Chain A
Amino acid sequence: MDESDKMLINTLQGGFPLTERPFLEVAQRLGLDEQTVIARIEKLLADGVLSRFGPLIQVERLGGAFCLAAMAVPQADFERVAAIVNDFPAVAHNYARDHRLNMWFVLAAETPQDIDATLRAIEARAGIPVLTFPKEREYFVELKLSA
């Protein structure tokens, strides 16, 4: 990742232009050419520096919900349970953390019923209880990190 990549990542975390030639517009802003911008984004995605390039969807605006959940998974069983949890499309993220509750994941679904059904299915398949931490108040969310 070089300085141009960092500039590009910081720029692309803002609003991507909704115009006919959005990559060209970004390229002109950064003093690059359109094909270079596209090729760099392809490489950043392939290298895993970017996990995605597209819209960030707010399911709450669709009547849905996000829910943080956690499990205490025995180490020997960790990979099996991770595969079970990750298999559900409603699981948006999943992180291993160094705590007795060592697996923390976020569910996102278009209805609260979908969240409940997914939680029950995860418990049934994993054979481990899930603790849920739905947000009661949101004080702050920042969606950008500087490269």
Chain B
Amino acid sequence: MNAAVPLSPQPLSAAERALLVAVQRGLPLLPRPYRAVGENLGLAEMEVIRMLQELLARGVIRRIGAIPNHYALGYTANGMSVWDVDDEQVDRLGQAVGALPFVTHCYRRPRHLPDWRYNLFAMAHGKSRAEVTAHVAAISALLGPACQAHDVLYSTRILKKTGVRLTG
């Protein structure tokens, strides 16, 4: 997904907020989950389904489904690669890095000189550090002389992974 973030905010109705707060930790694992959610909120099953469709269509919900723990899927090497890329070229090159099949997230972010010189962040997941190292070499080759320095920050532990929490 090449997400151009739309600028216009989409305010939630009170009913939509209550619905999102009710489901954000997880859907009920029951044969009719939307009916169960509706019973708690005083909404009909079809109304819950219609509101969720609408929130998906507006992009407030990106998708509904399983959020895996990538360590448990065997992606034990998670390298956040960071690159100091020429400001004139970073947008063109960022698009190219983001298009590499193994890059799951790619962003331009601010530098914090002198402590932090990197302005391009590309997350590469692999089943071993050797795999991530090969990915990083491919990114390095793509960036060429436009990149002055890079580093790879491997994750050693997930401290928290709850996702977004709206307040009721």
Interface residues on B, range: 35 or more
Q: A51-B161, A92-B162 are in contact. Are A22 and B67 (CB under 8 A)?
A: no
Known: A57-B62, A135-B107. A50 touches B68 (CB 8 A): yes
User: CB within 8 Å of B: which residues of A?
Assistant: 1, 9, 12-16, 18-24, 34, 38, 41-42, 44-45, 47-63, 68, 82, 85-86, 89-99, 101, 103-105, 108, 110, 131-143, 145-147
Leading 6 A-B pairs by shortest Cβ distance: A140-B98, A63-B9, A139-B98, A12-B66, A94-B159, A94-B160
Contact, CB under 8 Å: B68 / A135: no
Q: Are A15 and B64 in contact (CB under 8 A)?
A: yes
In the complex formed, the residue of B with least CB distance to A142 is: B104
Q: Classify the interface of chain A: helix, strand, loop or mixed.
A: mixed
Instruction: Find chain B residues with CB under 8 A from A104 CB.
Output: 80, 153, 155
> Chain B contact residues: over half helix, strand or loop, or mixed?
mixed
Q: Is B61 an interface residue (CB 8 A)?
A: yes
Q: Please name the residue on chain B nearest to A47 by beta carbon.
A: B72
Closest to A37 in B: B29
Please name 5 pairs of A and B residues whose Cβ atoms are closer than 8 Å in the assembled complex, sorted by A: A13-B68, A56-B67, A61-B10, A89-B167, A145-B75
Within 8 A of A (CB), among B69-103: 69-70, 72-73, 75, 78, 80, 91, 94-95, 97-99, 103
Q: Assess whether B72 is in contact with A58, with CB atoms less than 8 Å apart.
A: no
A-contact 0/1 string along B26-47, CB 8 Å cutoff = 1101111111000000000100
Contact B3 A93 (CB under 8 A): no
Taking A95-B155, A138-B3 as known contacts, 19 extra A-B pairs with beta carbons closer than 8 A to each other, sorted by chain A number, are A20-B34, A22-B34, A23-B33, A38-B31, A51-B67, A54-B23, A55-B55, A68-B109, A92-B163, A101-B116, A104-B155, A105-B160, A134-B109, A137-B108, A138-B107, A140-B103, A141-B105, A142-B103, A146-B73
